[in-house]
């Protein structure tokens, strides 16, 4: 047992996944591996998927994305997960599932809770903006409902990949050497940097992205795995883009069930402006409350396990 592990009263089962590695990776090399997987894995996958879907690279870099563009961009994250899986299996000598997908009879429950919390937590800022007249529903696109559900597949791949590399892999390799606080902080910084270059990013948006990283870190620790946070992340993104028709971290998708946008004279600090609802102060309040609840859930798990 390392000093980092012995200093923690009860490590989450999520953090124990690295113990299955025959040749574990340290946090610095682990960070380099993640960056390499992000750059190389997504590029290689995109070179295959964009021609296959007939997608526009320009749209993926900040333009309006039709369904083909959206799917090609989101599914390209499979290259990131694939390269990381090879590293975990071939270099570390452990199964890929040890990154946080542990066998459990409650997978369906975790997925349902994750999806449900995403709908409720996102519904708060969107609902308040609609009721207060800051946001308007411009149109209802009944003909696009089926295509919008297809888009959920892409968000499931993208969101799960981000959870794997941050709340899964980085948390594990960092905790093993540097302890829990460093593990939570590093994944939050990396997650924020991944989104910090998105179009129309603001200070409020960066604060909210950091809150999402902390919320999902404590949630994953409390659950002991990644099932719930993957579902939350996927549905959170999907509802913004393909259900509400709001920008997703600056990404403008066109296959939507609704078209919700800022009303004339609306305040960007409430609606989020061009970055989307993730740059709203109302979202800040909702995420802050969620982060506190997730932390309390983690603390309750540690206390109950030691009693």
- As a whole-number percent, the residues of the chain with pLDDT over 70 amount to 95
Residue 158 in this model has a pLDDT that exceeds 80: yes
Query: Which token pair is 28?
Result: 């610095």
In a domain, 268, yes or no: yes
Exposure class string for 278-304: b at 16+ Cβ within 10 A, else e: bbbbbbbebbeebbeebbeebeebbee
DSSP conformation class of 9: S
The angle at the Cα of 29, spanning 221 to 87, to the nearest 5 degrees, equals 80
In a domain, 99, yes or no: yes
229 Cβ partners below 8 Å, 6+ apart? 114, 163, 167, 216, 219, 220, 223
Cα separation, 190 vs 217, in Å, equals: 12
**Span 197-203, average pLDDT:** 91
CB 271 within 8 A of CB 277: yes
In a domain, 2, yes or no: no
Please give the helix or strand (H or E) that residue 65 lies within, else none. strand 64-65
Number of domains in the chain: 1
In a domain, 297, yes or no: yes
In a domain, 270, yes or no: yes
Identify each DSSP E strand in 199-269 by its residue range.
Answer: 252-253, 258-262
Query: Which token pair is 165?
Result: 């590399």
Q: How far is CA 133 from the centre of its chain?
A: 29
Averaged pLDDT of the chain:
93
| Pairing mode of beta strands 258-262, 252-253 | unpaired
Cα separation, 198 vs 93, in Å, equals: 35
The angle at the Cα of 280, spanning 283 to 199, to the nearest 5 degrees, equals 120
In a domain, 178, yes or no: yes
> If pLDDT is split at 50, 70 and 90, which confidence band does 303 have?
confident
Position 94 scores a pLDDT of 98
In a domain, 1, yes or no: no
In a domain, 4, yes or no: no
> If pLDDT is split at 50, 70 and 90, which confidence band does 6 have?
very low
| Segments forming the whole domain that contains residue 284 | 9-306
Position 4 scores a pLDDT of 40
In Å, how far are 3, 40, 149, 202 from 295, measured between CA atoms?
23, 34, 32, 26
**Span 186-198, average pLDDT:** 93
> If pLDDT is split at 50, 70 and 90, which confidence band does 103 have?
confident
> If pLDDT is split at 50, 70 and 90, which confidence band does 172 have?
very high
């Amino acid at each position: 047992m390392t000093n980092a592990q012995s200093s923690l009263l009860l490590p989450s089962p999520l953090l124990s996944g690295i113990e299955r590695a025959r040749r574990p990776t340290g946090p610095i090399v682990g960070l380099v591996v993640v960056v390499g997987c992000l750059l190389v894995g997504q590029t290689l996958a995109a070179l295959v998927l964009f021609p296959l879907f007939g997608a526009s690279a320009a749209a993926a870099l900040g333009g309006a994305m039709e369904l083909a563009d959206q799917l090609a961009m989101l599914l390209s994250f499979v290259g990131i997960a694939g390269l990381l899986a090879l590293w975990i299996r071939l270099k570390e000598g452990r199964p890929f599932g040890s990154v946080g997908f542990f066998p459990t009879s409650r997978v369906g429950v975790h997925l349902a809770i994750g999806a449900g919390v995403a709908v409720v937590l996102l519904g708060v800022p969107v609902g308040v903006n609609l009721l207060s007249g800051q946001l308007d529903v411009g149109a209802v696109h009944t003909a696009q409902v089926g295509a919008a559900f297809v888009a959920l597949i892409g968000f499931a791949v993208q969101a799960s990949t981000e959870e794997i590399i941050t709340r899964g892999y980085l948390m594990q390799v960092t905790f093993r050497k540097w302890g829990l606080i460093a593990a939570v902080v590093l994944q939050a910084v990396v997650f924020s940097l991944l989104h910090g270059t998105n179009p129309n990013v603001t200070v409020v948006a960066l604060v909210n992205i950091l809150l999402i990283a902390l919320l999902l870190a404590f949630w994953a620790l409390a659950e002991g795995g990644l099932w719930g946070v993957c579902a939350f992340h996927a549905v959170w993104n999907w509802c913004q883009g393909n259900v509400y028709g709001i920008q997703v971290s600056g990404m403008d998708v066109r296959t939507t069930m609704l078209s919700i946008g800022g009303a004339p004279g609306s305040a960007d600090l409430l609606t989020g402006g061009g970055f989307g609802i993730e740059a709203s102060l109302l979202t800040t309040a909702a995420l802050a409350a969620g982060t506190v609840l997730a932390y309390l859930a983690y603390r309750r798990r540690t206390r109950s396990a030691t009693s």
